[in-house]
Amino acid sequence: MPITRLNHAVLFVRDAQRSGAFYADVLGFRPVDMGGEAIANAVFMQAPGSTNDHDLGLFSVGDGVAASEAGRRTVGLYHLAWEVDTLDELERLAGALSAAGALVGATDHSTTKSLYGRDPDGLEFEIAWVVPAEQLDDSVLRGRAALRPLDLGREKQRYGGSTPGGVGVSR
Q: Which CATH architecture has domain 9-60?
A: Roll (3.10)
* Nearest C-alpha neighbor of 165 from the set 114, 129, 127: 129
Pairing type for strands 148-149 and 80-83 reads unpaired
pLDDT at 171 over 60: no
Q: Which CATH architecture has domain 80-159?
A: Roll (3.10)
> What's the whole-number mean pLDDT along residues 114-139?
93
Residues 57-92: pLDDT tens digits? Answer: 999 999 999 999 999 999 999 999 999 999 999 999
Question: In this structure, how many other beta carbons lie within 10 angstroms of the beta carbon of residue 12?
Answer: 16
Please tell me the pTM assigned to this model. Answer: 0.91
Residues 89/134, Cβ–Cβ less than 8 Å: no
Pairing type for strands 56-60 and 80-83 reads unpaired
Q: CATH 3.10.180.10 region(s) of the chain?
A: 9-60, 80-159
